[in-house]
Structure 1
Amino acid sequence: MSSTSYKYQTSPLPSRAQSPSSNLGSTTVPLSYRTGSPLPTPAAHRHDCMTAAAKRYRYLRRLLKFRQMDFEFAAWQMVYLFISPQKVYRNFQYRKQTKAQFARDDPAFVVLLCFWLCVTSVGFALVLKLSLWSFLRFLVYTVCVDTLAAGIIVATVLWSITNHYMIKPTCRDQDVEWGYAFDVHLNAYFPPLIILHFFQLFFYHVFISQEWFVSLLFGNLLWLFAIGYYIYITFLGYSALPILHRARVFLYALPVLMVLLLVSLVVRVNLCRVLMNFYHYRVL
């Protein structure tokens, strides 16, 4: 083959899709991240992956650049977290193949999540009849404490557990990104936010807050669906990582959740009313 024809050939070079034995000691993307993909190593792939600090800096810097955010795609993810969360995590795998990281590099999802927090906080202010000052306090608590602070704590705990106890023996040289653990939490947090902070507001005064058993059952079932969504989406998030095993351990919480629902019905604890009272007294 002449040098001219070799220069302009369109098929990928054989060295871009190496066998497992020939990848030992190479700097290409680990095969555990590319299993089942017919694609060669992306042309934009960085062989020298950025440090965690560099990724955080780039992510925070993009928070101020709204024109560079893909809000349409972030909204698509929010919709599919309800109807088909597997497709959302499939996209995370594509990001690993093209950008050498699982975690989001676009803060559009976080911005839209904060928007929904503002919307639901207005709804709570109307239901609880909060003053303007109480509403602002409630909004700050919801965004800074309930979402960001709690999310950082939960993501850090799960990040530590997965890296210490769930890494496959053949993948000890790799680890779960903290940013991905935080993304998993935000993904799992969004459906409960809509169910408990938005959907239930339309039924609270007229139905859920009543003393009827059917009202108690309906309100507590909302909690069951919300927490069940969180557990299932968290399971999907960590089972999507090829370097982890035993991800089914997250699903063990579902039977416990059913038991807690039965206990709440027996002792007649209206969980939605407990949530409302907690928010009401916290902002007074």
Structure 2
Amino acid sequence: MSQYSHIKYTTSPTPSVVSGYSSASRLHSPLPPPVGHRKDCLSATSKTYKYLRRLFKFNQMDFEFALWQMIYLFISPQKVYRNFNYRKQTKSQFARDDPAFLLLLLVCLFVTSVGFAYVLNLSFWQSVGFIFYVISVDCIFAGVIIASFFWAVTNRFLRTSNLEPDIEWGYAFDVHLNAFFPPLILLHFIQLFFYNWLISQTWFISRFLGNSFWLMGMSYYVYITFLGYNCIPHLKNTRLILIALPIIFLLYLVVTIIGWNATISFVNFYKYRVY
């Protein structure tokens, strides 16, 4: 008999054992399971209900992170959308599940609208109507329309395959809110410091500066909207959104040359709505 006959050779574990081990280890893993293995994916209605319910739970909101997002929407918006991809991998949704950003945006909109009403010399009740109109119509209502448009277009025409998941409407609305914030600060806040003594005049530098604010604000909106949809892997031809940029620049040149100050027209339109 061979001197090695007493050695017992073990066989590799069967596939069922490996599968059982993997399942057990996944149950005890501190990391969230991949999206494809999640069994707790919520419906759109459930996600909306969960989001709205958290509007009144301030202690559960991450205002510090929302403020970080607002700052980086100015200096590096790509980093903001990188976080949306992380959320998709961990929580199986692109849209925000924390309303802190929306609340901070509404606070900014309220404060800047108060300043705008002061610059326009509005009365108290005119200011109240103006603030209500800006928040409900200019931000929320217009945002619902724009988000619904991009939601329908991206799902209908820009998905690489019908087998790919739909773009969430909530995410489309988040993209609008992200793109809305920089123009809000530029047009409703920074521009106010130049309006009475410079932009409201009839000089060339006045309409150049006023129209330049609008050029920057609209360009920010288009570029951040593009980033929002370009970061989704299963969308194609998202660069078509950038076609709006040369059109905006051409309009900027035309209105500046013909002597039209977009900011003065914007202010007159606001006055007309509250008087």
Name the TM tier (shorter chain). 0.7 to 0.9
Which segments of 5 or more consecutive residues in structure 1 lack a partner in the other structure? 2-11, 18-38
| Preserved contact between residue 217 and residue 265 of structure 1 (Cα < 8 Å) | yes
Whether 1:210 aligns to 2:193 is no
Question: Considering only aligned residues, what root-mean-square deviation do their CA atoms show, in Å?
Answer: 2.1
**Match for 1:57: what amino acid?**
Y
Aligned residue among 139, 142, 165 for 2:134: 142
Aligned residue among 238, 246, 250 for 1:259: 250
Aligned pair count?
Answer: 251
- Spell out, residue by residue over 1:194-225, the C-alpha distance to the aligned partner (whole angstroms, 9 max, x if none): 00000100000011111110111111011000
Provide the residue aligned with 1:193 in structure 2.
Answer: 184
SS at match of 2:56: coil
Whether 1:53 aligns to 2:53 is no
Provide the residue aligned with 1:21 in structure 2.
Answer: none
Larger radius of gyration: 2
Whether 1:183 aligns to 2:174 is yes
| Preserved contact between residue 16 and residue 41 of structure 1 (Cα < 8 Å) | no
SS at match of 1:104: coil
Deviation of 1:280 after TM superposition, in Å, equals 1.1
| Preserved contact between residue 187 and residue 214 of structure 2 (Cα < 8 Å) | yes
Deviation of 1:13 after TM superposition, in Å, equals 4.3
Provide the residue aligned with 2:7 in structure 1.
Answer: none
Deviation of 1:47 after TM superposition, in Å, equals 2.3
| Preserved contact between residue 81 and residue 187 of structure 1 (Cα < 8 Å) | yes
Which segments of 5 or more consecutive residues in structure 2 lack a partner in the other structure? 1-9, 11-20
Per the alignment, do residues 278 and 16 of structure 1 end up closer, same or farther by CA in structure 2, a change over 3 Å counting?
farther
Provide the residue aligned with 1:68 in structure 2.
Answer: 60
Aligned residue among 42, 56, 77 for 2:69: 77
Detail structure 1 runs of 4+ shifted over 4 Å in the superposition. Answer: 12-17
**Match for 2:132: what amino acid?**
V
Whether 1:242 aligns to 2:263 is no
| Preserved contact between residue 16 and residue 40 of structure 1 (Cα < 8 Å) | no
Per the alignment, do residues 130 and 242 of structure 1 end up closer, same or farther by CA in structure 2, a change over 3 Å counting?
same
| Preserved contact between residue 164 and residue 234 of structure 2 (Cα < 8 Å) | no
Mapped to 1, the partners of 2:202 and 2:192 lie a distance apart of: 17
The TM-score, its normalising length taken from structure 2, stands at: 0.87
Deviation of 1:281 after TM superposition, in Å, equals 1.4
Whether 1:127 aligns to 2:119 is yes
Mapped to 2, the partners of 1:252 and 1:13 lie a distance apart of: 49
| Preserved contact between residue 179 and residue 225 of structure 2 (Cα < 8 Å) | yes
Mapped to 1, the partners of 2:205 and 2:190 lie a distance apart of: 17
Alignment of 1:23-38 (within 5 A): none
Deviation of 1:42 after TM superposition, in Å, equals 5.1
Aligned residue among 94, 100, 113 for 2:92: 100
Provide the residue aligned with 1:231 in structure 2.
Answer: 222
| Preserved contact between residue 124 and residue 197 of structure 1 (Cα < 8 Å) | yes
Provide the residue aligned with 1:116 in structure 2.
Answer: 108
Provide the residue aligned with 1:27 in structure 2.
Answer: none
Mapped to 1, the partners of 2:59 and 2:205 lie a distance apart of: 48
Deviation of 1:41 after TM superposition, in Å, equals 3.1
Whether 1:88 aligns to 2:73 is no
**Match for 1:94: what amino acid?**
Y
